[in-house]
Amino acid sequence: RRILVDAGDVNVPEYINSLKSVLKEENVELEHIIVTHWHQDHIGGVKNVIENTENGKSCSVWKFKDDISASNCLPVNIPLKWLKNEDKIVTQGATLRVVHTPGHTTDHIVLCLVEEQAIFSGDCILGEGTAVFENLYDYMNSLNIILQLNPDIIYPGHGPVVESPVTKIQYYIDHRNKREGQILQVLKEKTFQKFTERELVKIIYT
């Protein structure tokens, strides 16, 4: 029995075929689907997974509950089970601990594989580039939470595996602080000017 972390986007046959192939080769079945956050490229494929895997209809589907994204994520015939911070989901040989990491979205979580020092990071940490966010304050707090978890490896929702996670997390923190510093520098140099967000972006992202 296995846990599936995120289910891809809606109606992506290549993903479903790949998933079915792995389940068959490994002679395993899905017990849980955990969604890291409500964005469609993570939750949209849940219906396809349930309908196209051998025991999909008996899977439990989990997501962190928040007031904004709790509804309208899935068809009404797919019940969601709600996660809380520090919950644990257990299957054969694996325990995933839920850590609420808002910022990218209000409901975002990362999952710590208890048996190893590994993290499934959703969209908080990416394999390439930096992440977008809804709330910078929350996101920076979440990056510091992940840093304190001191992972040995990160499996991101997008891009390659992160083999040097502490270095990567610190880069994310430093990069955001650098951007904030650039904004402050522009405002300091041009004290009596007003700027829209778009104008600041044009100056800073040269």
Q: Which are the contacts of 55, defined by CB distance < 8 A and separation ≥ 6?
A: 29, 30
128 token code pair: 């390439």
What Å distances lie between residue 153 and 1, 121, 139, 164, 206, CA to CA? 23, 10, 20, 7, 33
Q: Is the pLDDT of residue 72 over 70?
A: no
Q: Is the pLDDT of residue 32 over 70?
A: yes
Percentage of the chain exceeding pLDDT 90: 88
pLDDT tens, position by position, 133-181: 999 999 999 999 999 999 999 999 999 999 999 999 999 999 999 999 9
pLDDT tens, position by position, 35-69: 999 999 999 999 999 999 988 889 999 999 886 66
pLDDT tens, position by position, 9-18: 999 999 999 9
**pTM for this prediction:** 0.92
